[in-house]
Structure 1
Amino acid sequence: MVTVDQFDELASKIDNWGRWGPDDERGTLNLVTPEVVVKAARSVVSGETFPLAMGLSLDGPQTGAGVPGRINPVRTMLGINVPIAEGEHAAAWSDDVVYSPVQAATHWDALSHVSHRGLMYNGIPADSIDSSGATRLAMEAAGPIVSRGVLLDVARYEGVDRLPPGYPVTRDVLAAVEQAQDSPVEEGDIVLIRTGQARRFLEGDKNGYRNRPVPALDWDAPLYFHERGVAATATDNMSFELLPSSVPEVVLPVHVLCLVRMGMVQGQNFVLEDLGAACAVDRRYTFHLGAMPEPFLRSTGGMVHPVAVR
């Protein structure tokens, strides 16, 4: 097991507080420059599009147990074929209403999602969040999330459809996959990590998808992201990181290192199966990625329907 002292040593290596100024709330998304966005557009070759989000419904991945109260979206009808006016020629309208956590299915964690020792990214006090939401580091502070995406297909690297439960995706594993794929990760890229865990959800094994341990990021993976200048990252599982943790006293070390110390938004419940299969055919693992969260103001996370364009 990793000690708190080892954790703090790594945290100091990847710390970005003050890097983009004392008032910065975007963190590593500052690395997505106009030049990086142009590079992302140039990565489109075939024009194939791959939606990466889970469907939003009551049959989603949440149980309300992992994070108390985090349920699947509840959608009902606000009106069904309601006439706008009298008469046989009048139009009629139908409308829906939804109640949902913003992190119910495919989502980004905002930098306000996690605090550590009373502070969030850039030293912003945790009490900046109140009953009105996040007054600092809310999801809208991220701005546009559009860049070049790189898929690191760890499951395919290991020769399996799905990594075994508890498989630790370490810094060295990520570097090995990058080298094996010959897909160098560059500054400003968004890295998507495929463990194959989402296959359980797609195949109807909801409990298998939710149950821990799952294959996920280990505590030193953030060092890889820092070394490459990664702008954001996302995985195809619920927990994002190993649970139980390799740093027992911190519990969510990867959340703390990415969100709090690096200022890097992280995504969960991305669906990477079709994208992974396509990338494996021509061994081209880069693409244009558009992953804009819904602009709910003062939110600690954001629903997102990411689309990769190859």
Structure 2
Amino acid sequence: MGSVADSPSHSNFDELPLHPSHPKASAWGLWGKDDELGTLNMLTTERVQEALREIMSGDRVPLNLAMNAFIQPMNPARKPCDHRIKVKGSANDNELHINTQGANTQGASHWVELRHYPYQRSLQYYNGIRQEDISGPSANHRIGIQNIAKNPITGRGVLLDWASWANSQGIQYASFSTYSIPLSQLVSVASCQGVSFHRGDILFLRTGWLADFRSLSKDEQADLPYRAVRSSICLEASEESIRWHWDNAFAAVASDTGAYEAWPSPQTWGVTMHEVFLSGWGLPIGESFDLEELERLCRNRGKWTFFVVSVPLNVPGGVASPSNAVAIL
């Protein structure tokens, strides 16, 4: 089946959900009742071929933080990366113990997929999958991260540099608070950068969180996860913002923060973006991406679009994975 915007009978956000028994704003069944790719269905071979035209210089920019980029993940209940060298005579092996929810924990750049966060009222994941399908006696691999590994996130990337725009406008904000960026500001950023969107784009949002984190002292960085409320800046989970993402038909979205939406989410529309994006549309969310070098190069060139490839780990039934993402300019 074609993309959201290619499907005339389902191109209107107001027609969601597609069945009255389905959760708010969900698009279950749009690509079939057994679909496990969600919005990644829009990354057709034709769109990937079109995206290749974005490559001009061939410069490659990794978008991944080191697996041990943070002393302690932002959620202290999750363990940081444990890396050990296992000496075997005259050779070495690597042993890694990681929590793949690296972005939510602020431990590494990663994608969260369709198994991560269900609709909180019905506890249903994408296309009606329930918890017992994931972890119960009849558990299966449906809607696991292996689907992205086998169908890598590959296409036209777009960077919106909200942080620089906000500073130029004299907007006062705090990265480590629940500062909700309104959609109107994001639209202004796109306008100032001269950006237009294509169906199936992979959207990256720079809020400045990572730059602000790096400006902290080591002690301040170490203390940050232990705040009473682990709040962070990002988008407002409003109806108009969620509608905008649907209307622009993004295949995936990512930011330099730990949630893509301001967290804890104010839920101004009664649901979080996590619920609608992941479990409603099957839209992967990338978190804690390193967008600093990408922003510098895009600004120097005056071009904010590029080719992007991201191949997560092939973990059958996995919930999340390090992003292994690179932008090619």
The TM-score by the shorter chain falls in which range?
0.7 to 0.9
Which of 177, 180, 200 is the equivalent residue of 2:212?
200
Offset from partner CA, 1:98-138 (integer Å, 9 cap, x none): 11111221110011111121211112223211169762110
How many angstroms does 1:249 deviate by? 9.7
Please state if 1:24 is matched with 2:50: no
Offset from partner CA, 1:262-308 (integer Å, 9 cap, x none): 21010101010111111112220000101111112211111122111
Give me the whole-angstrom Cα distance separating, in 2, the residues matched to 1:309 and 1:262: 27
Which of 56, 64, 67 is the equivalent residue of 2:67?
56
State which drifts further: 202-211 or 93-102: 202-211
Is this contact kept in 2: 1:163–1:197, CA < 8 A?
Answer: no
SS at match of 1:180: helix
Give me the whole-angstrom Cα distance separating, in 2, the residues matched to 1:208 and 1:118: 33
Identity, % of aligned positions: 27
State the partner residue of 1:164: 174
State the partner residue of 1:102: 100
State the partner residue of 1:141: 147
Please state if 1:129 is matched with 2:134: yes
Please state if 1:292 is matched with 2:292: no
Q: What letter corresponds to residue 244 of structure 1 in structure 2?
A: P
Please state if 1:239 is matched with 2:259: yes
State the partner residue of 1:39: 50
Is this contact kept in 2: 1:155–1:162, CA < 8 A?
Answer: no
SS at match of 2:167: coil
Q: What letter corresponds to residue 231 of structure 2 in structure 1?
A: P
Which of 236, 259, 267 is the equivalent residue of 1:218?
236
SS at match of 1:158: helix
Offset from partner CA, 1:163-203 (integer Å, 9 cap, x none): 53333223322222112211111101100000010113434
Offset from partner CA, 1:54-78 (integer Å, 9 cap, x none): 101274550543xx3x221101122
Is this contact kept in 2: 1:178–1:185, CA < 8 A?
Answer: no
State the partner residue of 1:3: none
How many angstroms does 1:248 deviate by? 7.5
State the partner residue of 2:20: none
SS at match of 1:129: helix
- Residue 169 to residue 61, structure 1, CA distance change in 2 (3 Å): farther
Can you give the 5+ residue segments of structure 2 that lack an aligned partner in the other structure? 1-13, 18-23, 103-107
Give me the whole-angstrom Cα distance separating, in 2, the residues matched to 1:103 and 1:11: 29
- Equivalent pairs counted in the alignment come to 289
Which of 85, 89, 94 is the equivalent residue of 1:77?
85
Give me the whole-angstrom Cα distance separating, in 1, the residues matched to 2:244 and 2:72: 29
Give me the whole-angstrom Cα distance separating, in 2, the residues matched to 1:214 and 1:99: 26
Give me the whole-angstrom Cα distance separating, in 2, the residues matched to 1:209 and 1:44: 38
SS at match of 1:264: coil
Q: Within 5 A, what are the aligned runs for 1:2-21?
A: 12=17, 14-21=25-32
Using structure 1 for the length normalisation, give the TM-score. Answer: 0.84
State the partner residue of 2:320: 301
Give me the whole-angstrom Cα distance separating, in 1, the residues matched to 2:320 and 2:140: 10
Offset from partner CA, 1:194-252 (integer Å, 9 cap, x none): 001011343455258656432112113332211111000001011322223222796x6
State the partner residue of 1:93: 91
Which of 96, 116, 123 is the equivalent residue of 1:113?
116
- Residue 156 to residue 209, structure 1, CA distance change in 2 (3 Å): farther
SS at match of 2:95: strand
SS at match of 1:183: coil
